[in-house]
Amino acid sequence: MKIFGFAGWSGSGKTTLIEQVIPRFVRAGLKVSLIKHAHHRFDVDHPGKDSFRHREAGCSEVLVTSGQRWALMHETRGEPEAPLEEQIARMSPCDLLLIEGYKYYPLPKLEIYRAANGKQPLYTGDEHIVAVATDTPLQVRLPQFDLEDYDAIAAFVLDTLELHR
């Protein structure tokens, strides 16, 4: 399983860019999965649903399953956040595992940078950033892509990971 990350400040367009490159990887014949890091409280469940009620009652894990999908919800109940390595180990086998977030984790990453965010680029302090997708030309020695050049970004990721079918 090859792993590639996408990092950038909130509001930079990570999700939009990833949403556009995933179909290109799938068309290349790859089985693709993703881990997204959320910096805030989130829930995939809804108040009133049976699974929500079971978690609220105290279950550590609730697995909801159907003929079309399944989801496992795990409550940390005050435990520290699991490291990325543990989360990766939980994933089913695939050809390409994308990681969204985990800005400072040591894995090859493409930075999504928007000058309007008013934040410093991450590439200046992270040797694991191998390219930048931006809406503003930057003075950087890394490969640089327009934020919407999805074909070139997907091709770069495939070339970087030597994933050609």
- The values of phi and psi at residue 57, to 5°, are -75, -15
Tally Cβ neighbours within 10 Å of residue 12. 23
Is residue 75 domain-resident?
A: no
Give residue 38's pLDDT. Answer: 84
Q: How is 86-116 classified by DSSP, letter by letter? A: HHHHHSPP-SEEEEE--TTSSS-EEEEE-GG
pLDDT above 70 (res 165): no
Residue 17 lies in domain: 2-40+80-161
Using 50, 70 and 90 to split pLDDT, how confident is the model at 95?
A: very high
Helix axes 14-27, 150-161, angle to 10 degrees: 70
Is residue 148 domain-resident?
A: yes
Using 50, 70 and 90 to split pLDDT, how confident is the model at 163?
A: confident
Is residue 90 domain-resident?
A: yes
Is residue 140 domain-resident?
A: yes
pLDDT above 60 (res 117): yes
Pairing of the two strands 70-74 and 61-65: antiparallel
- Mean pLDDT, residues 130-147 taken together: 95
Q: Give the H/E segment covering residue 121.
A: none
Is residue 66 domain-resident?
A: no
Least confident span in 53-67, 85-99, 148-162: 53-67
Average per-residue pLDDT in the chain? Answer: 93
Is residue 62 domain-resident?
A: no
Give residue 31's pLDDT. Answer: 97
CATH assignment of the domain containing 21: 3.40.50.300
Instruction: Identify which of 1, 17, 62 has the alpha carbon closest to the alpha carbon of residue 156.
Output: 17
- What sign does the CA torsion over 68, 18, 123, 94 have? positive
Can you tell me the distance from the alpha carbon of 47 to that of 161, in angstroms, rounded to the nearest whole number?
A: 42
Number of domains into which the chain is organized: 1
Is residue 84 domain-resident?
A: yes
User: Could you read off the pLDDT of 23-57 as tens digits, one per residue?
Assistant: 999 999 999 999 999 877 777 888 888 998 998 89
Give residue 107's pLDDT. Answer: 95
Is residue 55 domain-resident?
A: no
